[in-house]
Chain A
Amino acid sequence: MPAHKGTSHQPDEGSSLSQERELVELASAGNQRAIGALYDIYVVPLYRFCLSKLSNETDAEDLTEEIFLKAITSIEKFTWRETKRKRDDESSEFNPFRAWLFRIARNQIISTYRKKETRSRVDVHYEDEPVWIADQAAGPAELTERKFLLEQAAAAIDQLPESQRDVIQLRFMGDMNVNEVAATLGKEPGNVRVLQHKALKNLRTILAGEFDLQGVESQR
């Protein structure tokens, strides 16, 4: 059973793709262990994606659970197919299940948006949990900086045009590569790269007043 991945599933995880395919097939047959394992893999990117789209943690939690349940209850309809058209970059793995799951997520979020149109967007708050509890290894100053970073990043992404926002949210919060983003949005990978490029340029301008990007560079 694959371990819970809280980090990127980038190309070095190619070997896990076949394992995931097996999990999907088992989950489709109703295997609870496989369903649990799939949830462990996707809870992180799904939650991040939902939180980036919605205004608060509670909504993001509810929606994450709802989306995954919806996907699992209709998983019999899913077929593992690698769409050649979408894979113009052979160096990146293409995970059709991830793309399918996030298409469901996106549609569900759009539907939720319609119901909650009046919600304020830039309202990511975490008053339920004091920041110093979140990570024992970091001090209050560092944690406060992180909270600030998160809120500012969310606010900056909100200012992007919708097409660029979708790409950034799927790429960075949904932990997807360009091929998967393209498949989720029904676009060509080349177009997604261009949108990503434009989005990061816009974000650079927006964030320049908030962050020392030179400082971030020097830390790399």
Chain B
Amino acid sequence: MSMFKSSDFLDEESVQATRLDENLNKLITDGESDIDSREDPELSELLAVGEVLRNAADDVTARSSFKSFHMRSRAAILQSVGEARFGKRVSVLDSLRQKIGSARSTIVSAGAASLATLAIVFAFGASSDANSAAQSLEPKESTDLQVTSTVSTQSANLSQGENDSSPATIRSSGVIITPNQLIESVAVSNSGDYATTLEGVTESLNAIVSAGDAVEVDEIRQLTDYLAQLGFDIRLNPPGNNNIDDISKFQDVIAASVVALNAINTAEPEVLSAVLAGKIVAEDSMGIATRYVNLNLASR
């Protein structure tokens, strides 16, 4: 009885095929092959064909249209996955809500229900009165841009830091951004269904602002992922009147994200694509949040 199984038997073609594959692996990995065309012209020609195919494959995805598709489809996939996942969660929550629905109070104080006032303030210098700045949207001729995001002083959850007239500033690309106190207050005060996502957004946002121009694509994409999830958190598990403050905080943190994304100064196409995708997703999530705020105001 033969000591070899039939599958172990290596005929001449198998030997050549194995040698070709080994050299293809080397060609693909190292970009070169040890084969001398004078020594083995047959193998050398087959490797040349492999190289033609490899180059053709590489060219397909080197196009800018592919990069654009990548970013668009990534956002769409994450939204779809989020929708499916949160759809399941909502159905469970709905049954719980039905049980406790009658017992829920719908008392919403005017203060707690007040809209977060988003103020994007363009002004010289680092000091600005937050309340007055909240009313203005006047671009000034300056390369230093101070952006302050404040929650209305009517809000019951306002911390002292939010009213600080000289908030800590974060520099990024020559731009001063001061949404950090707001971000911290949102992250600390929120403990509801959205806490995890909000925490993700704020962490990502802080990472981006800290990195400045050295921000990496993955950091931007992470923020985009969380922003997408936030939009679907709101849409599929709306907080309703009782928690309208949450939505206001969402608006604040989304706006802060847009500001941080705008502050990224880079010529890297991949980073620019990621920033663009981030802003598109942020706008989408902002639209969802705003819709709920308006609906709740109208029903009050």
Minimum CB distance partner of A12 in chain B:
B29
Interface membership of A188, Cβ < 8 A: yes
Give 17 CB contacts A-B under 8 Å. Answer: A3-B218, A10-B25, A30-B81, A33-B225, A36-B77, A68-B77, A91-B25, A134-B64, A135-B62, A149-B56, A150-B56, A193-B17, A193-B20, A197-B17, A213-B48, A217-B44, A218-B37
Let me know if B60 is at the binding interface, CB within 8 A: yes
Once bound together, how far apart are the Cα atoms of A11 and B26, in whole Å? 9
B63 contacts chain A at the CB level, 8 A cutoff: yes
Interface residues as binary, B11-54 with A (CB distance below 8 Å gives 1, 0 otherwise): 00110111011001101110011000100000011111111111
Shortest Cβ distance from A136 into chain B, in angstroms?
9
Q: How many residues of chain A are within 8 Å of chain B by beta carbon?
A: 70
Question: Restricting to A56-103, which residues have a CB under 8 Å from any CB of B?
Answer: 57, 61, 64-65, 68-69, 72-73, 91-92
Q: Is B29 a contact partner of A48 (Cβ separation < 8 A)?
A: no
Q: Mark B95-124, 1 if CB is under 8 A from A, else 0.
A: 000000000000000000000000000000
Which residues of the other chain, A, contact B25 by a CB distance below 8 angstroms? Answer: 10-11, 91-92, 177
Q: Which of B63, B84, B222, B225 is A129 in contact with, Cβ under 8 Å?
A: B63
Quick one: which of A1, A72, A173, A211 contacts B81, CB cutoff 8 A?
A72
A sample of 4 more A-B contacts (CB under 8 A), given A6-B58, A197-B17, is A47-B60, A129-B64, A146-B59, A197-B21
Q: How far is the CB of A70 from chain B (nearest CB, A)?
A: 11
The answer to whether B66 touches A47, judged by C-beta atoms less than 8 angstroms apart, is: yes
- How many B residues are at the interface, by size bracket? 35 or more
With contacts A35-B81, A134-B62 taken as known, whether A204 is within 8 angstroms of B221 at the C-beta atoms is no
Determine the main DSSP class of B at the interface with A: helix
- Chain A stretch 19-43: residues in CB contact (< 8 A) with chain B: 30, 32-33, 35-37, 39-40, 43
B33–A203 CB distance below 8 A: no
Report if A139 contacts B (CB, 8 A): no
- Which residue on A lies nearest to B29, using beta carbons? A10
In the complex, the number of residue pairs spanning A and B with C-beta atoms less than 8 Å apart equals 173
- What is the bound-complex CA distance between A10 and B33, given in angstroms? 15
Q: How distant is the Cα of A84 from the Cα of B7 in the complex, in angstroms?
A: 15
User: Which chain A residues border B80 with CB–CB below 8 Å?
Assistant: 69
Provide the residues of chain A in CB contact with B49, threshold 8 Å.
200, 203-204, 207, 213
Smallest CB–CB gap between B195 and chain A, Å? 16
Q: A113 in the interface, Cβ–Cβ < 8 Å?
A: no
The one of A7, A33, A92, A177 that contacts B58, using a Cβ cutoff of 8 Å: A7
| A121 adjacent to chain B (CB < 8 Å) | no
**In angstroms, how far is the closest chain A Cβ from the Cβ of B230?**
11
Bound CA span A73–B56, Å: 31
